[in-house]
Structures are given as C-alpha cells and as structure tokens.
Copies of this chain bind each other. A is one copy, B any other.
Amino acid sequence: MAYSLHEKLAADCESLGDLDLCTVLLMRDHRFPWVILVPRMEGLRDFHDLPRNRAIVLFDEIDRVSRILVDEFEVEKINVAALGNQVPQLHVHVIGRYASDAAWPGPVWNAGVVGEVDQAVVGERALVLRRVLREPAGRPPETT
C-alpha cells in the first residue's frame, strides 16, 4: 500500500512542502507556530517503527525545523512530540513556545481547541516557512 497523508492531518494543516523524509505541515492554529513532520513511509505508527537508518534523517529534519522556528519567530522553547493516539499515522509535532502563550507552561494540548482560527496569522507563517524551507539546509558544526 502506498504512502498517503492521513485525512485529518490534511484537513487540519497547511501544506509547506517536502523534505527528504517528511512532508511538512503547519497546524491551522494562530496560538502557536506548530509544525508537523510526517515521514512519507507506509505503515509507521509509533516512533520506534521508524527504521534506524531513517531515524537520523528524522532527527535532522526536527533539528532544521526547530532552528527555523527559533530564527524566524523568536520562540523561546521547542516542544517535540510523537503521540498519535487519535491519528494513527506517525507524525511528529515540532511546536514553538513562548512564556506568554496560551498554554505555557503546560503542553499545547492543555489549551483546548483553537476555536475560530486567525487565518491571517497562519497564512503569514506559512509564507515564511515555505520560503525558508526552499533554501538549502545547513547545519552548524558538530559539538560533542
């Protein structure tokens, strides 16, 4: 069976494009800069279903998106999570957080549903992210 994006992810998010492993989505929620990475492989459910040789690629893509959220939106903290209790397809949340945001210091899931979405905010974020994601990926030197 071929890979296809789960219909709930497709319905709830803006599409930002594809990286090597993952399709990149932006949650339609003006409260948080909230990116979702979906590995384009069929049959993944839990994080540990990912083949080991793809895990480092997922790490690189989480790393890249995290740095973009810090650089472009000046977020103060990144939350990373693979939950998938409601959407069984493996997807990784990469969420930029501020000490002033609607859920701080709790997880974003404690903040309830978004209600009416401010689409201007979401649309502007999507424009910025699509532009930056088209640029070549760089990674700072190794530190150990």
Contacts and interface: CB of A to CB of B under 8 A. Distances in A.
A15 B51 CA distance: 29
Contact of A47 (B46, B56, B62, B110): B62
Contacts of A60: 52
Secondary structure of the A side of the interface? mixed
Contact of A84 (B50, B54, B77): B77
27 contacts: A46-B77, A46-B78, A46-B80, A47-B62, A47-B80, A48-B67, A48-B78, A50-B59, A51-B143, A52-B59, A52-B63, A53-B142, A53-B144, A55-B59, A59-B59, A77-B85, A79-B83, A79-B84, A80-B82, A81-B82, A81-B83, A85-B97, A85-B106, A107-B107, A107-B109, A109-B109, A110-B110
Interface of A: 45-48, 50-56, 59-60, 62-63, 66-67, 77-86, 97, 104-107, 109-110, 139, 142-144
